[in-house]
Structure 1
Amino acid sequence: MSKQIAIRLPDELVQYIDQAVEEGRAPSRAALVAQAVGCDRRRRRAERDAEILAAAGADRDLDELAEYAASVPMDDLD
C-alpha cells in the first residue's frame, strides 16, 4: 500500500530530481524521493545499531555477526 503526500522542496532539489528522472536515473519523482527516504532510514538504523554495539563494548563474539551483517545488502533489511 502507498499513500500520496504533498511536500515542499527547494527549487534546486526539484531541479535535481527532474534531471535524474530525465536522465533515467530514476523512474519518477516519487521513486527517487522514496529511495532517498529509504536510504536515510537504513543509515539511521545502522547508526543506532553501531551505538548499541559501542555501548556494549568490544566483544569478540560479535565479530562473526558483524561480518555477516556487512555482507547482507541493506535493501534486504526492510
Structure 2
Amino acid sequence: MTKQIAVRLPDDLVSFIDHVVEEGGAASRAELVFRALERERRRLLTERDIALLTGGVPDDLAGIEEHAAPLDDLD
C-alpha cells in the first residue's frame, strides 16, 4: 500500500531530481525520493545498531534493558 503526500522542496533540489530523472537515473521523481528516503532510513538504523553494539544506547531506547530478558534466559 502507498500513500501520496505533498512536500515542498527548494527549486535547486527539484532541478536536481528532474535532472537525474531526465538522465535515466530514476524512472520518476517519486522513485528517486523513495530511494533517498530508504537510504536515509537504513543509515539511521545502522547508526542505532552501531550505538547498541558499542554500548551506547540512544535516548529513545533508554531503560529498555530493564524489560529485556537476561542473556541466560536465551539458552
Scaled by the length of structure 2, what TM-score is found?
A: 0.73
Q: Please identify runs of 4+ aligned residues in structure 1 that moved more than 6 A.
A: none
Confirm whether residue 44 of structure 1 aligns to residue 25 of structure 2. no
% identical equivalent positions: 55
Alignment-mate amino acid for residue 29 of structure 2: R
Identify the residue that residue 20 of structure 2 maps to in structure 1.
Answer: 20
Alignment deviations for residues 31-55 of structure 1 (CA, whole Å, 9 cap, x no partner)? 0000000000000000000000010
Higher Cα Rg, which structure = 2
Alignment-mate amino acid for residue 7 of structure 2: I
Gaps of 5+ in 1: 57-78
Q: In structure 1, what is the Cα distance between the partners aligned to 2:55 and 2:49?
A: 10
Q: Tell me how many residue pairs correspond in the alignment.
A: 56
Scaled by the length of structure 1, what TM-score is found?
A: 0.70
Tell me how large the CA RMSD over aligned residues is: 1.0
Greater share of helix residues, 1 or 2? 1
Aligned-pair distance for 1:8? Answer: 0.2
Q: In structure 1, what is the Cα distance between the partners aligned to 2:52 and 2:5?
A: 33
Q: Flag the structure with more relative contact order, 1 or 2, with Cα contacts below 8 A and sequence separation at least 6.
A: 1
